[in-house]
Amino acid sequence: MTDPLAISLGPLRLRNPILVASGTFGSGEEAQRSLDLHELGGVVTKSVTRERRRGNPPPRIHETASGMLNSIGIMNPGLDGFLEHHLEAFRALPCARIVNVAGESSADFANLTESFGADPGIDGIELNVSCPNVSGGLDFGVDPKLLEPLVAEARRRTSKPLLVKLTPNVTDLAATARAAEAGGADILCLVNTYQGMAVDWRRRRPELGSPTGMGGLSGPAIKPLALAAVHKVRRAVRLPIVGIGGITDAEDVMEFLVAGASAVQVGTANFRGPETPLQIVRQLAELHTREKLGALSDWVGTLQVPRGRG
Amino acid sequence: METVRAKVLYNQAETSSVYRLGLAYDAEARGARPARFLTLRFDGPTPHIVPRPFSVSDAFVHDDYGPVTEVLYKPLGRVTSALTRVRASDNLHVLGLLGNGFPEPAAGHTPILCAGGIGNAPFALQVRHLLAGPFASAPSRVVLLLAGRSSSDIYIQPWVREAGITILETTDDGSRGARGRITDLIQTHWSNWTRPELYACGPAPMLHALQSFAIARGVRCHLSTEERMACGYGVCNACVVESRREGVPEGHGDYLKSCVEGPVFECREIYA
Ligand SMILES: Cc1cc2nc3c(=O)[nH]c(=O)nc-3n(C[C@H](O)[C@H](O)[C@H](O)COP(=O)(O)OP(=O)(O)OC[C@H]3O[C@@H](n4cnc5c(N)ncnc54)[C@H](O)[C@@H]3O)c2cc1C
Ligand SMILES: Cc1cc2nc3c(=O)[nH]c(=O)nc-3n(C[C@H](O)[C@H](O)[C@H](O)COP(=O)(O)O)c2cc1C
Ligand code: FES
């Protein structure tokens, strides 16, 4: 019997539409040690960069109303460190394995993509063109003219499913989505965090320790923004979409599906505990049975916005 | 490591700045060690997104309640203040047990437990473990120093006071015990202790002072650090402390994840 929650995400077949988001689940090893992740749709790694990154000075997180800010600064062991210490365990995960890479140049993205581009233990590569925490480098994700050739270059280095994770910190998300599509992306992921700030007014200082004082907002606070982003991009491109932003339960998952996502990633909610995404899978299975949802793909993008009001 | 719902058995103010929370949660069965921790989250009265870390303060079996895990906390901000309104029979989400915990003292060494303010949290359990082990027949050799700004910061569970260990107190304002800092108290009594080994939990300036002191005196000193955490289990990279290595200047050391590689570090391993 096929799994009732199974779903196609472009070239990827997933056991269910629930993945975990980059930077919120390590590379799955920590959770796999105490849980069995075979029920999960997939794991996306923390962003891997060419060189190791130390990240920003602490404090690196601050809770806000229904959300949190982070300024981790893509702390990661770099490509060599990842290959040496994490790849083996990551490849052994019993669900879809997607490596997230981040670069400071188009060549970085291409080379990182190539490093994983032919690995049979990797099911897809996600380009993080959107992290607001990497200072110095260009923010490719905000400029369609930079984004399209960047994606095209990475595309040439792999035949694996190529996911592009977009930043919402732009005036025209449809334009960056179209650029990623034109560059040859298979799947679009949205959103990454929204740039934000928290202020300790008594000390006249930002709460976060990053050099800019700013960070990225995530959690339920951004869910309505992320739903609107998915809805907009759905109308602009034909590519399948992975919805990300504030998802904490199965109801949230269905909202994203109806708005146009074929799958979702769970981020901040994982900080409740490593079993969180599995609980959401189980909730979704229950909801599926209870409300006789049928094929999940039949729900994708079925949102109807009544016209001609007012 | 897993998240469970645990029932609150009691939650009461012991002083104006120390609350004591009892949970129906078996920390001992999950490998409790002093300065290991758990994270707490509640759905009400003020729902929040990110769980908060707390040391396991004590773990024991109660006649009526069965296994109890105790947490001491100080209402400081949003979550710790809301925690004061949690009542017996409410449920909390508990993720544990996390982190490494204090190592045992080396043979023949005198454990000096240094608590600054709410840094008293891990020490009841440490006293319990020391008295169940190497110090069973010599409880007075276990030394507990309680330091704080004023008398309301000075607290340890009542049974610890009756356990026969040596307890010394000091406050910045002299409202209880000696007047001064914990380092003053240590200087005063230093010569009474054979091969002291320090265990410290408290505010960053105190950890810093003890680190300098221990390095100068050439004694081992274990610091329980308190960084802001999101996950508590090693996946988010929020909770870093800077490692200290010969030849690497401060500000350039690697960051260590204090939730998994700590929260306890020997003072020569990090910049406190
Ligand atoms: C391993 C570990 C063990 C801990 N054990 C205990 C314990 O046993 N008892 C206890 O009372 N507290 C303990 N803490 C500290 C406790 O987690 C914080 O006080 C709590 O997270 C503050 O949450 P809040 O929402 O009340 O404060 P917020 O509203 O988030 O912040 C209020 C103030 O507290 C400061 N703060 C935030 N997080 C921390 C932190 N992690 N450490 C110190 N200050 C912080 C903020 O800078 C701010 O000034 C521990 C922390 C760690 C990392
Ligand atoms: C602590 C933290 C670290 C993150 N690190 C990364 C990262 O390295 N790469 C990336 O593409 N996204 C990163 N993200 C963004 C998440 O993957 C996700 O897009 C975002 O948090 C929104 O989803 P959420 O609201 O469910 O958390 C991070 C988010 C958080 C909270
Ligand atoms: S708190 Fe998340 S890695 Fe330590």
The ipTM value here is 0.94
d(CA A11, CA A95): 15
Angle between helices A78-85 and A106-117 (to 10 degrees): 20
Nearest to B184 by CA among B169, B195, B164: B169
Tell me the CA–centroid distance for residue A21 and ligand 2, in Å.
Answer: 6
Q: Above 80 in pLDDT, residue B158?
A: yes
Give the per-residue pLDDT at A141.
87
Is cis: bond before A59, omega within 30 of 0? yes
A189 is catalytic: no
Give the per-residue pLDDT at A1.
46
**Which CATH number, 3.20.20.70, 2.60.40.10, 3.90.550.10, 3.30.360.10, labels domain A7-299?**
3.20.20.70
Tell me the CA–centroid distance for residue B260 and ligand 2, in Å.
Answer: 20
Q: Above 70 in pLDDT, residue A138?
A: no
Q: Which of A110, A112, A131, A259 is catalytic?
A: A131
Nearest-neighbour CA in chain A from B95: distance (Å): 6
d(CA A284, CA A16): 9
Angle between helices A250-259 and A276-290 (to 10 degrees): 70
Ligand 3 — pocket residues by CB below 6 A? Answer: B 229-232, 234-239, 257, 259
Query: What would the mean pLDDT of A91-96 be, rounded to a whole number?
Result: 97
Nearest by CB to residue B235, choosing from A26, A35, A62, is: A26
What whole-number percentage of chain A has pLDDT above 90? 91
Q: Above 50 in pLDDT, residue B238?
A: yes
Mean pLDDT score across all residues of chain A: 94
State the residue for tokens 């063109």: A129
SS3 A43: strand
Q: Which of the pair, A81 or A135, is modelled with greater confidence?
A: A81
Give the per-residue pLDDT at A74.
95
Instruction: Inform me whether the C-beta atom of residue B235 falls under 8 Å from chain A C-beta atoms.
Output: yes
SS3 A113: helix
SS3 B183: helix
Q: Specify the ligand 1 atom closest to the Cα of B226.
A: 53
In contact, A76 and A52? CB cutoff 8 Å: yes
d(CA A270, CA A292): 27
d(CA A172, CA A144): 10
Nearest-neighbour CA in chain B from A298: distance (Å): 32
Tell me the CA–centroid distance for residue B1 and ligand 3, in Å.
Answer: 14
Nearest bound ligand to CA A55? 2
Q: Above 80 in pLDDT, residue A94?
A: yes
* Residues B238, A55: C-beta atoms closer than 8 Å: no
Tokens of B262: 């700590």
Tokens of B151: 């008398």
Nearest to A167 by CA among A99, A267, A244, A235: A244
Q: Is the torsion defined by CA of A227, A230, A234, A238 positive or negative?
A: negative
Closest chain A residue by Cα to residue B42: A272
d(CA A8, CA B76): 48
Tell me the CA–centroid distance for residue A216 and ligand 2, in Å.
Answer: 8
Is residue A204 very low, low, confident or very high in pLDDT (cuts 50, 70, 90)?
very high
Nearest by CB to residue B235, choosing from A34, A55, A270, is: A270
C-alpha dihedral over B136, B142, B148, B151, to 10 degrees?
A: 60
Is residue A115 very low, low, confident or very high in pLDDT (cuts 50, 70, 90)?
very high
Give the per-residue pLDDT at B45.
67
Q: What are phi and psi of B123, to 5 degrees?
A: -85, -25
C-alpha distances out from residue A24 to A27, B53, B190, B236, Å: 9, 17, 46, 5
Neighbours of B238 (CB within 10 A): 27
Element (H, E) at B83: helix B78-83
Question: Is the beta carbon of A167 within 6 A of some atom in ligand 2?
Answer: no
Give the per-residue pLDDT at A132.
52
Give the per-residue pLDDT at B43.
87
Is residue A130 very low, low, confident or very high in pLDDT (cuts 50, 70, 90)?
confident
Q: Above 70 in pLDDT, residue A309?
A: no
The domain spans of chain B are: 2-98, 110-224
Q: What is the pLDDT of residues B53-91, one digit of tens each?
A: 999 999 999 999 999 999 999 999 999 999 999 999 999
Angle between helices B182-189 and B204-217 (to 10 degrees): 30
Nearest-neighbour CA in chain A from B256: distance (Å): 10
Query: What would the mean pLDDT of A182-193 be, rounded to a whole number?
Result: 97
CATH architecture of B2-98: Beta Barrel (2.40)
d(CA A95, CA A23): 17
Q: What is the pLDDT of residues A261-275, one digit of tens each?
A: 999 999 999 999 999
* Residues B49, A271: C-beta atoms closer than 8 Å: yes
d(CA A42, CA A14): 7
Q: What is the pLDDT of residues B10-63, one digit of tens each?
A: 999 999 999 999 999 999 999 999 999 999 999 876 789 999 999 999 999 999
In chain A, residues with a C-beta closer than 8 Å to the C-beta of B79 are 63
The domain spans of chain A are: 7-299
Q: Above 50 in pLDDT, residue A237?
A: yes
Instruction: Mark out the alpha helices in chain A (DSSP H runs).
Output: 29-34, 78-85, 87-91, 106-117, 144-156, 173-183, 223-236, 250-259, 276-290
CATH architecture of B110-224: 3-Layer(aba) Sandwich (3.40)
Give the per-residue pLDDT at A135.
45
3-state helix vs strand vs coil in chain A, percent to 5: 35, 20, 45
Nearest by CB to residue A272, choosing from B3, B238, B241, is: B3
